[in-house]
Amino acid sequence: MPVPAVHRTSHRIEVAAPAGVVYGLIADAERWPLFFAPNVHVEPLDGEGPAQRLRMWARAQGRITSWITRRTLDPGARRISFCQEVTSAAVDSMRGLWNVEQRADGWSLLTLEREFSLPGGRLAAQSTGDANIRAHLASLKSLAERWAHLDELVVTVEDAVRIEGPSELVYGFLYGAAARPGTVPGVAGVQLVEHVPGIQTLCAPGPAGGAGHTVAVRLCFTHGGVIVYKVTEPPELVSGQAGEWSVEPDPTGVTVRARHRLVLDEHDVVRVLGESAGLADARRHVRERVGRESAALLRLAKRHAEDAVRPLTPSSLPGPS
């Protein structure tokens, strides 16, 4: 059999931010779904200290793909090497190196080197991959250059509800709620599509009855009682949004926890909230909206489960015949 061709690429980009900031954004892979458009979810599998093993999900050419990668972090040298242990369908092998250099003028030079082979030698896939890498680096540059107030742009909304009902009913409601029009607050008219079990897309109808566009992607981990999501068409004031619902059973019921993370679009604040508005106003506005929609969904889940298992009261029991 012929030996697959090995391709090597190198991408560089200058960033107006300290090298430590740039390195930190690359090292914190669990936040990639919040910051970078293609990434949907990152799950740590094992590893402590400089060694990491991660399973990653991302959107590629309209589909969800996943792979397992091993990374070795070297914060002193600001380098991260990686190797895909289980590859996605797009490549047969993949390894590479992130390297961040501090420049004397306070800027950084970020380099990404990759070495990979493609199934069937598909060169078209290489061109697509290069375009995705350039987009990823451009997003990373934009984030890093806002490092002085990046923490102000990130909003976290958390909520929890106690439900006296079986976890299967609660999780089943969350799993299929979006399939019932009008059930999920804030997503009226959205349809749920699930071609692969556990991988869902929420689609809104396009203008004038045209083709739909993706609103969000959800990954449903039934055995773990978790649903994670990534918004692919963020609403106004938001440039990125991701989160999860977790169903945690105990002997008498379940606790459902919701966690939503958002990145504010600072360039949208004045247009949406007015000339006098600032980031604090945007944070409050987004937190109130997301919190309201999240709490409404949790209340619906609670009502669904508890109404289904409402115990019989003495007055409702049949009398003797």
Give the model confidence (pLDDT) of 76-135 as tens digits. 999 999 999 999 888 899 999 999 999 999 999 999 999 999 887 565 555 556 788 898
Q: Single out the residue of 190, 188, 258 nearest to residue 229, CA to CA.
A: 258
| pLDDT value at residue 119 | 84
Beta strand pairing call for 191-196 and 199-204: antiparallel
The secondary element (H helix, E strand) that includes residue 110 is strand 108-117
The secondary element (H helix, E strand) that includes residue 6 is strand 6-15
Q: Which distant-in-sequence residues (6+ apart) come within 8 Å of 268 by Cβ?
A: 236, 237
Is residue 279 within 8 A of residue 150, CB to CB? The reply is no
Q: State the sign of the Cα–Cα–Cα–Cα dihedral 136, 142, 145, 148.
A: negative
Burial class of residue 157 in the structure, from the number of CB atoms within 10 Å of its CB (0-12 exposed, 13-18 middle, 19+ buried): buried
Give the model confidence (pLDDT) of 56-87 as tens digits. 999 987 789 999 999 999 999 999 999 999 99
Is residue 233 within 8 A of residue 126, CB to CB? The reply is no
Q: What's the Cα-to-Cα distance from 292 to each of 190, 252, 310, rounded to whole Å?
A: 18, 27, 26
Number of helices (H), then strands (E), belonging to the chain: the values are: 7, 14
In one-letter notation, the amino acid at residue 70 is R
Is residue 195 within 8 A of residue 300, CB to CB? The reply is no
Alpha carbons 110 and 219: distance in angstroms, whole number = 32
**What global pTM score does this model have?**
0.88
DSSP string, 228-254: EEEESS--TTEEEEEEEEEEEEETTEE
Please state the length of the chain.
Answer: 321
In which band, very low, low, confident or very high, does the pLDDT at 309 lie, cut at 50, 70 and 90? confident
Give the model confidence (pLDDT) of 125-182 as tens digits. 555 567 888 989 999 999 999 999 999 999 999 999 999 999 999 999 999 876 666 6
In which band, very low, low, confident or very high, does the pLDDT at 321 lie, cut at 50, 70 and 90? very low
| pLDDT value at residue 126 | 57
| pLDDT value at residue 177 | 77
Rg, Å, the chain Cα set = 23
